[in-house]
């Protein structure tokens, strides 16, 4: 396989047995954003590293000098750093939680706006893909849910008293006018996303669907074995 730079790689499929291990914690909600790439309902954050923005000037200089191969190498470096950070984060989440709930923010729609560079640099689509296949392999339930009003709603009382509109994007913390609860904007949204798993999840965009990402076959077999043992007992 040849990449955009012209380097070649050998890819070999390897068969291995999947062993599903129960996660130490039950569930987590993930809110995807730009200032913070991911915020969890437990308060953990993956800060936006801006991998492409950090070397954007070097890429422009290489392109102006006509060094196309160098520019491609810089693009590849940014992509690799982003992929590595998301791999580490997704592995940590899959290892820690049994049910993983992600908001259905659509990167394909936002890339058409002035936020396109920041959206592409965040790698939301790549993170969702990693969570889905790693979650399936580990026997996790990965759900993508409608995140409407998750930023505005108070995760304590449900009142829609939070910041809303483009003019309030800089508001990172707020106090609920109903119950007086103090919230971090992203963590509060992640908590609401976790609660939204009780409703019908969404698979793509904002299209609702009654299905979820299924656990792996190994996990289903293990559950069947446990049921059989209980029945025999």
pLDDT reported for residue 3:
81
pLDDT reported for residue 68:
86
The CATH number of the domain holding residue 202 is 3.30.420
Q: Which domain holds residue 33?
A: 25-218
Whether 17 is in a domain gets the answer: no
146 neighbors 163 (Cβ within 8 angstroms)? no
Whether 226 is in a domain gets the answer: no
Domains: count for the chain: 1
pTM score, whole prediction: 0.74
Whether 85 is in a domain gets the answer: yes
Four-CA torsion 206, 208, 211, 212, nearest 10 degrees = 30
Q: Which residues pair with 184 in a beta bridge?
A: 173
Whether 54 is in a domain gets the answer: yes
Helix axes 68-96, 56-64, angle to 10 degrees: 160
Alpha helices in the chain (DSSP H): 51-54, 56-64, 68-96, 107-110, 116-122, 124-138, 185-195, 217-232
pLDDT reported for residue 111:
67
Long-range contacts of 51-55 (CB under 8 A, 24+ apart): 51/78, 51/79, 51/81, 51/82, 51/85, 51/121, 52/78, 52/82, 52/117, 52/120, 52/121, 53/117, 53/118, 53/121, 54/78
Whether 186 is in a domain gets the answer: yes
Whether 227 is in a domain gets the answer: no
Q: What is the mean pLDDT of each run of 10 residues along the chain (233 residues)?
A: 84 83 92 90 88 82 87 87 92 95 82 73 87 91 91 91 80 90 93 80 37 40 43 44
Q: What secondary structure letter does DSSP report for 9?
A: -
Whether 6 is in a domain gets the answer: no
Whether 48 is in a domain gets the answer: yes
């Amino acid at each position: 396989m040849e990449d955009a730079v012209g380097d070649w790689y050998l890819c070999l499929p390897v068969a291995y047995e999947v062993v599903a291990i129960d996660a130490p914690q039950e569930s987590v909600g993930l809110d995807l954003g730009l200032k913070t790439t991911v915020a969890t309902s437990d308060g953990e954050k993956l800060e936006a590293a801006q991998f492409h923005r950090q070397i954007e000037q070097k890429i422009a200089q290489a392109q102006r000098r006509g060094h196309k191969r160098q520019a491609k190498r810089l693009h590849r470096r940014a992509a690799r750093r982003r992929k590595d950070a998301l791999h580490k984060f997704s592995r940590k989440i899959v290892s820690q939680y049994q049910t993983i709930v992600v908001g259905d923010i659509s990167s394909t729609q936002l890339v058409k706006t002035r936020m396109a560079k920041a959206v592409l640099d965040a790698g939301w689509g790549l993170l969702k893909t990693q969570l889905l296949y790693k979650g399936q392999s580990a026997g996790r339930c990965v759900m993508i849910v409608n995140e409407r009003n998750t930023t505005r709603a108070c995760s304590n009382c449900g009142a829609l008293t939070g910041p809303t509109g483009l003019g309030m994007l800089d508001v990172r913390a707020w106090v609920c006018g109903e119950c007086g609860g103090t919230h971090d904007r992203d963590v509060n949204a992640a908590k609401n996303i976790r609660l939204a798993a009780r409703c019908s999840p969404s698979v793509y965009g904002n299209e609702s669907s009654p299905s979820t990402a299924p656990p792996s076959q190994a996990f289903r077999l293990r559950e069947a074995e446990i049921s059989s043992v209980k029945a025999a007992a």
